[in-house]
């Protein structure tokens, strides 16, 4: 544990995750090239991005169960191989249907990476460093987006579709070789946790994990923090900035990297805070949600077009939501036995992606509805009008608000369990703060 070998495992695991994010986001820069290559409508082409995310989310719980049964190494190897196959299919795809199959393979492979590497970290490290390393891994991985946005986009522009997707696949091949050579499930001589011997036992373990209030707290923490940034970076941020705010496309693409930068800066701080104040992790999550709600309120209520500084601030706050969501996995880790951690992480990871899908879809519906009303009132069609974006983005208050209610319920049940089983009483934050203040004054 915490050995030099553990650090090597951490580095290669993070690189494998970075490669997965590169494969995941590679389609984002290739939309125009895809239109030229395959033709077809925007709806058919957007299915390339959406299908991959649906497969990703649908596979989280099965992948979690598989990690508990077979260990993370097998899953990382399988996932990376599937992504290589997917990107190769895409590189040589003669038609949109082969391209869709390629993206399905990428989504399925990508689904296996993140929670496997999270699982590796908790097998190779112990103590307070675990939440900090999960933060580092998550945030280093997001640099895969920057690799997509800059060098990969450059290769696509210079040499075209096939070389671009072959280059992306070659990064996954390098990750695959490194994983084969370096990654092992746990330190030699450490005890293997009992693995479920049958599928029935694995499913029973998943059910238990799902029922634990701590796992549910993790799910809702992931749900409320991650979605707003994901919705912005994967779908609606770009059209909002280009058509709603009038930015040049290259400026909009550069703005999206603020999300990654903010994660890199704030992730380690959140890791330190969660390790230092484990009983206050839900307060940190709620603080992040309040910041996201406030930043959106400023943008949505700004009279006229919000200045670029305000949009940059929104992106910083949304960027904090990414690492904030990793606190969800820390809840899973501390409220589940190691043997069912894979399943618990799978459950947690569904949270943010569910909220993202729902919000992405509802924002699209609201944009369409407003455009329909505008046209039927005799106006001209303007799907991405700034005013329409304001109303449509506001739907996130509803989606995230539902999550906050369920988070508070899960937290109440978790605290009740801690008081019953371990005698740990967690006072509301304002009570704890006022006690601290009184102690500080009397010293």
**Count of beta carbons in the 10 Å neighbourhood of residue 336:** 23
The residue (of 114 and 238) whose beta carbon lies closer to ligand LKAUPR5Q is: 114
Closest distance of CB 223 from ligand LKAUPR5Q, Å: 11
Please say which residue, 19 or 123, places its beta carbon nearer to ligand LKAUPR5Q.
Answer: 19
Min. distance of Cβ 149 from ligand LKAUPR5Q in angstroms? 15
Comparing CB distances to ligand LKAUPR5Q, the nearer of 64 and 323 is 323
Q: How far is the CB of 186 from ligand LKAUPR5Q (least distance, A)?
A: 22
- 143 Cβ neighbours under 8 A, 6+ residues apart: 18, 21, 260, 264
Task: Tokens for 272, please give them.
Answer: 């330190």
Nearest CB to ligand LKAUPR5Q, comparing residues 23 and 89: 23
Three-state SS at 316? helix
**Nearer residue to ligand LKAUPR5Q within complex by CB, 227 or 370:** 227
Whole-number minimum distance, CB 329 to ligand LKAUPR5Q, in Å?
Answer: 7
Distance CA 250, CA 254 (A): 6
Rounded least distance, CB 263 to ligand LKAUPR5Q, Å: 4
Q: Is 71 helix (H, G, I), strand (E, B) or coil?
A: coil
Nearer to ligand LKAUPR5Q, 11 or 162 (CB): 11
Query: What is the SS3 assignment for 190?
Result: coil
Nearest distance from C-beta of residue 373 to ligand LKAUPR5Q, angstroms: 35
- How many CB atoms are closer than 10 A to CB 107? 25
Measure the CA dihedral 32/34/36/41, to 10°: -90
Give the nearest distance from C-beta 351 to ligand LKAUPR5Q in angstroms. 9
- Pick 131 or 138: Cβ nearer ligand LKAUPR5Q: 138
Segment holding 34, helix H or strand E = helix 31-38
Helix (H) or strand (E) holding 293: helix 281-301
Q: How many helices (H) and strands (E) does the chain have?
A: 19, 0
CB 182 within 8 A of CB 8: yes
- Give the separation between CA 284 and CA 220, rounded to whole angstroms: 13
Which tokens is 228 given?
């707003």
Cβ of residue 215: shortest distance to ligand LKAUPR5Q, in angstroms? 15
Q: Which residues bind ligand LKAUPR5Q (CB under 6 A)?
A: 114, 138-139, 142, 226, 263, 267, 322-323, 325-326, 349, 352
The whole-angstrom separation of Cα 26 and Cα 31 is 10
Comparison of 60 and 388: residue with beta carbon closer to ligand LKAUPR5Q: 60
Q: Are 110 and 52 in contact (CB under 8 A)?
A: yes
DSSP 196: P
SS3 per-residue string spanning 356-399: HHHHHHHHHHHHHHHHHHHHHCCCCCCCCCHHHHHHHHCHHHHH
Dihedral of the alpha carbons of 236, 237, 242, 246, in degrees to the nearest 10? 120
- Residues 6+ positions from 307 with CB-CB distance below 8 Å: none
CB of 284 to ligand LKAUPR5Q, least distance (A): 14
235 Ramachandran zone, left/alpha/beta (phi>0; psi -120 to 50): alpha
What residue is closest to ligand LKAUPR5Q based on CB?
322
**CA–CA distance, 411 with 202 (Å, rounded to integer):** 26
Shortest Å distance, C-beta 264 to ligand LKAUPR5Q: 8
CB-wise, 244 or 322, nearer to ligand LKAUPR5Q?
A: 322
Residue placing its CB nearer to ligand LKAUPR5Q in the complex, 91 or 115: 115
The Cα–Cα gap between 144 and 259 comes to 13
Comparing CB distances to ligand LKAUPR5Q, the nearer of 14 and 371 is 14
Q: How far is the CB of 426 from ligand LKAUPR5Q (least distance, A)?
A: 25
């Amino acid at each position: 544990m915490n050995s030099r070998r553990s650090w090597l495992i951490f580095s290669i695991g993070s690189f494998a995750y970075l490669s997965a994010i590169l494969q995941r986001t590679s389609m984002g820069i290739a939309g125009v090239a895809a239109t030229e290559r395959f033709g077809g409508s925007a709806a058919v082409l957007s299915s390339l991005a959406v299908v991959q995310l649906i497969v990703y989310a649908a596979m989280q719980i099965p992948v979690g169960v598989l990690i508990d049964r077979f260990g993370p190494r097998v899953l990382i190897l399988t996932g990376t191989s599937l992504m290589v196959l997917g990107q190769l299919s895409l590189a040589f795809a003669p038609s949109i249907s082969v391209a869709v199959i390629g993206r399905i393979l990428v989504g399925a492979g990508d689904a296996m990476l993140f929670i496997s590497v999270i699982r590796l970290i908790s097998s190779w490290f112990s103590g307070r460093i675990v939440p900090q390393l999960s933060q580092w891994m998550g945030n280093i991985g997001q640099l895969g987006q920057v690799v997509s946005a800059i060098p990969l986009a450059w290769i696509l522009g210079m040499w075209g579709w096939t070389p671009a997707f072959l280059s992306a696949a070659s990064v996954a091949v390098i990750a695959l070789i490194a994983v084969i050579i370096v990654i092992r499930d746990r330190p030699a001589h450490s005890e293997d946790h009992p693995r479920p011997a049958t599928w029935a036992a694995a499913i029973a373990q998943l059910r238990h994990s799902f029922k634990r209030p701590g796992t549910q707290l993790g799910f809702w923490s992931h749900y409320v923090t991650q979605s707003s940034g994901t919705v912005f970076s994967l779908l609606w941020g770009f059209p909002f900035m280009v058509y709603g705010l009038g930015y040049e496309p290259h400026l909009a693409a550069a703005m999206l990297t603020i999300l990654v930068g903010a994660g890199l800066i704030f992730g380690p701080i959140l890791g330190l805070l969660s390790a230092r104040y484990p009983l206050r992790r839900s307060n940190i999550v709620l603080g992040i949600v309040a910041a996201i709600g406030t930043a959106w309120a400023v943008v949505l209520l700004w009279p006229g077009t919000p200045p670029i500084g305000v949009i940059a601030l929104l992106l910083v706050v949304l960027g904090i939501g990414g690492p904030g969501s990793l606190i969800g996995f820390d809840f899973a880790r501390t409220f589940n036995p190691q043997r069912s951690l894979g399943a618990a992480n799978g459950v947690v990871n569904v949270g943010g992606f569910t909220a993202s899908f729902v919000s992405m879809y509802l924002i699209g519906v609201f944009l369409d509805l407003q455009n329909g009303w505008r046209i039927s009132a005799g106006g001209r069609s303007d799907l991405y009008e700034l005013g329409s974006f304001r109303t449509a983005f506001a739907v996130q208050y509803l989606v995230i608000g539902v999550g906050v209610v369920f988070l508070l319920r899960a937290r109440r049940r978790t605290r009740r369990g801690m008081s019953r089983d371990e005698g740990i009483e967690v006072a509301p934050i304002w009570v704890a703060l006022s006690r601290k203040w009184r102690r500080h004054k009397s010293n």
